[in-house]
Amino acid sequence: MYLDNLVGVFGHPVAENPTCVMQDAAFDHLGIRWKYLTIEVLPDDLEAAIRGMRAMNMRGINLTIPHKVAVIPFLDEVAEDAKLIGAVNTVRRDGDRLIGENTDGKGFLRSLREDAGVDPAGAHVVVMGAGGASRAICVELANAGVASIALCNRSAERGEQLAGHLNAHTRARTTFHRWDAPLTIADEVTIVVNATSIGLYPDVDECPLVNLDSIHDGQVVCDVIPNPPDTAFLKQARARGAKTLDGLGMLVYQGAIGFRMWTGQDAPVSVMRSALEKAFA
Ligand code: NDP
């Protein structure tokens, strides 16, 4: 079969990566002859793989573990927010040039605005976790004008490093909190984000260490976990009157933003979301 355009993902291990399900569903829905390939690339082969995608005129590529940072030297340009995040999850083509982008935090922000109806400008925010997902979310929240970020992490080194980075390069006032006891959410906080891997399948009963009774209505509680989307943490938050936002929205929108970068067309987000829901079920 001849295809007009190829995109895909490089990772290792990558077999379980769900993105092809939603991107191919979007291509089929719009009736365009594009294909998303899930490609196992070993760390030592990344440079050759990027040369290969250039040679095959692929329109773009996603990067997942362990390539999000390692890919940077092989690109022609990196977008400003991806530079600040320090990682690239999406490569798009501009003519012959390969441009590195990071759509994870943008996907979170779009989900926050469109699904939860919340504008984060001026908000006081709590973010749990200081890994890649947290970094992308914090940078985009800071770019969106939040007033403050209380960053909580189990290991001090990663948390302090990220808080220092955000204070040096963004206007959001970021404080680091060592997270070794149940976290009480301050009253002024309106957005709470679990950006750790706690709650990810199969550990579906796990909940971040939070004093749940400090959650109340007027807050939006968000989780990055896409599978299962309705985590134990979100259920507990909803039971206390908070609005909740699941990680499936972030996953869909980060893909939808990449889809638009590659194809120039608006992505059919509801088609992409139901394709993923089916795959996870
Ligand atoms: P990392 O490995 O980079 O970071 C994991 C973070 O979780 C660290 O801050 C780690 O703390 C913390 N953590 C893990 N287990 C515990 C625990 N038991 N108690 C306290 N803290 C813990 O992972 P990522 O940031 O890349 O990914 C995190 C989650 O985000 C994953 O589940 C991933 O599936 C999800 N994700 C979702 C996306 C989406 O689109 N919905 C996009 C990207 C990621 P420490 O530093 O102390 O180890």
In 130-238, DSSP assigns E strands to 148-153, 173-178, 189-194, 220-223
The pLDDT, as a whole number, for residue 53 is: 96
Tell me how far apart the alpha carbons of residues 188 and 221 are, in angstroms, rounded to a whole number.
Answer: 14
Q: What ranges make up the beta strands (E) of the chain? A: 5-11, 34-40, 60-63, 77-78, 90-94, 97-101, 124-128, 148-153, 173-178, 189-194, 220-223, 243-245
Confidence (pLDDT) at 4: 75
Residue 141: its pLDDT value, please? 98
- Say which residue the tokens 């340009």 belong to: 77
249 lines ligand 1 (CB under 6 A): no
Q: How far is the CA of 5 from the centre of ligand 1 (A)?
A: 33
| Full-model pTM | 0.95
Give pLDDT, residue 2: 66
pLDDT confidence of residue 70: 96
- Please state the atom number of ligand 1 nearest to the C-alpha of residue 155: 47
CA proximity to 17, closest of 184, 254, 203, 185: 254
Token pair for 27:
């291509």
- Which residues lie below 8 Å from residue 9, measured CB to CB, with a gap of 6+? 17, 19, 20, 36, 37, 38, 39, 61, 62, 63, 64
* 106 counts as catalytic: no
In this prediction, residue 187 carries a pLDDT of 94
Q: Could you give the C-alpha distances from 63 to 22, 60, 201, 255, in angstroms and in order?
A: 16, 10, 22, 12
- C-alpha distances in angstroms, 130 versus 35, 171, 207? 34, 18, 17
Q: Enumerate the domain spans of the chain.
A: 5-102+249-280, 105-245
Pick the CATH number of 105-245 from 3.40.50.720, 3.30.565.10, 3.40.630.30, 3.40.50.300: 3.40.50.720
Is 185:127 a contact under the CB 8 Å cutoff?
Answer: no
Q: According to the model, what pLDDT value does residue 94 have?
A: 94
- Point out the residues of the chain with pLDDT beneath 50: none
Contact 101, 82 (CB under 8 A): yes
Contact 247, 226 (CB under 8 A): yes
Q: What is the per-residue pLDDT across 47-61, written as a single tens digit (0 to 9) for each?
A: 999 999 999 999 999
Among protein residues, the one whose CA lies closest to atom 4 of ligand 1:
131
Atom from ligand 1 closest to the CA of residue 197: 32
Q: Is 224 a pocket residue for ligand 1 (Cβ < 6 Å)?
A: yes
pLDDT score of 116: 97
Q: Given 3-state DSSP classes, what are the helix, strand and coil percentages for the chain, each rounded to the nearest 5?
A: 40, 20, 40
**Superfamily holding 5-102+249-280:** Leucine Dehydrogenase, chain A, domain 1 (3.40.50.10860)
What are the b/e assignments for 58-73, b being 16+ CB within 10 Å? bbbbbbbeebbeebbe
